Structure formats: structure tokens, C-alpha cells
């Protein structure tokens, strides 16, 4: 299962020609992950046990514009012993074209950490249960 975050591009996200700047995608992906962060870390209380981002990749597939509506789909794509991976896809929706188009894909790896000793640690059972709710096959998103 994935969850959807809707974003309305703003002029500040563009290069003033209406074309969305690639940095806006990263901000939007981060904003969409906040829903999951709030569930994993209520009130964002992270100490001494928390999560850190250790890797982010973004593939840009199509451009978006200020007048597009954007949906970001977020799901868990892998759960390991000490880390997990989230996949997010950015889809644009246009009024004159009812078929959404995939415009970008990001993969984010987060690692459980103990901030007191600055070392990774196994994922807490509570994290695993929440992450399992959003566990989904990446290939299923192509439909």
C-alpha cells in the first residue's frame, strides 16, 4: 500500500518560466515523507533512538510546470535489519490530460541510530510494524 501527498507547485518552485526546478522535487519528496516520519516518530522525539537518511537517489523522467497538479506516492520498498528503503514517485496531473504521468522517482534509505553512541542499531519493532503497513512492490506502481 502506498499513500498519496498532493502538492500544488508555486511560482517559487520554478525558474520563472513556469518550469519546476529540480530542487523543488527534493523538497516535495521530503514533505511527502513527513507523514511517515510523524507516524514513526510521534512529535519528532528522536533521542536517543532515531532515524537518519544515509542515501538518496532521484531519477528525473519528465518535467513539470507551475500549472500542473502533483501527486507523490510513498511506500516502503525494503525493510532490513538496521535500515529500510522508501520509494517515492512524483506524478503530474493535467486538466487537459486525464492520464497521470510519472515524472520522477526517488529511493531513500534510512538507518536506525542510537544518538547517544552515534552508531546504527537494529530497527525497533514499532518501526517495523508501521513500515510493513506501507510495504509495496515497486513494479506495481507502473500501473
Task: Quote the CA–CA distance of 69 and 8 in Å, as a whole number.
Answer: 5
C-alpha cell of 5?
501527498
Average pLDDT, rounded, for the chain: 91
Report, as an integer, the average pLDDT of 71-100: 94
Task: Quote the CA–CA distance of 113 and 53 in Å, as a whole number.
Answer: 10
Range 12-15, long-range pairs (CB < 8 A, 24+ positions): 13/66, 14/65, 14/66
Nearest to 55 by CA among 16, 3, 114, 106: 106
Q: Is the pLDDT of residue 120 over 90?
A: yes
- Residue with the bigger pLDDT between 122 and 93: it is 122
Report, as an integer, the average pLDDT of 82-105: 93
Nearest to 138 by CA among 91, 75, 81, 84: 75
DSSP-derived 3-state class of residue 62: coil
Report, as an integer, the average pLDDT of 79-85: 97
Cβ proximity of 55 and 108 under 8 Å:
yes
pLDDT digits (tens, 9 = 90+) for 14-51: 887 888 998 999 999 999 999 999 999 887 777 788 89
In this prediction, residue 143 has a pLDDT band, given cuts at 50, 70 and 90, of very low
pLDDT at residue number 97: 83
Cβ proximity of 51 and 36 under 8 Å:
no
CATH architecture for segment(s) 3-142: Roll (3.10)
Amino acid at each position: 500500500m502506498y499513500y498519496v501527498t498532493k502538492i500544488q507547485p508555486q511560482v517559487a518552485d520554478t525558474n520563472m518560466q513556469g518550469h519546476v526546478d529540480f530542487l523543488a522535487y527534493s523538497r516535495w519528496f521530503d514533505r511527502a515523507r513527513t507523514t511517515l516520519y510523524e507516524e514513526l516518530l510521534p512529535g519528532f522525539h528522536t533521542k536517543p533512538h532515531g532515524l537518519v537518511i544515509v542515501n538518496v537517489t532521484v531519477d528525473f523522467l519528465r518535467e513539470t510546470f507551475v500549472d500542473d497538479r502533483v501527486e507523490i506516492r510513498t511506500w516502503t520498498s525494503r525493510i532490513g535489519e538496521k535500515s529500510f528503503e522508501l520509494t517515492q514517485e512524483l506524478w503530474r496531473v493535467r486538466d487537459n490530460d486525464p492520464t497521470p504521468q510519472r515524472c520522477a522517482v526517488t529511493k531513500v534509505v534510512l538507518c536506525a541510530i542510537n544518538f547517544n553512541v552515534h552508531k546504527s542499531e537494529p530497527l525497533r519493532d514499532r518501526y517495523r510494524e508501521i513500515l510493513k503497513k506501507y510495504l509495496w512492490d515497486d513494479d506495481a506502481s507502473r500501473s
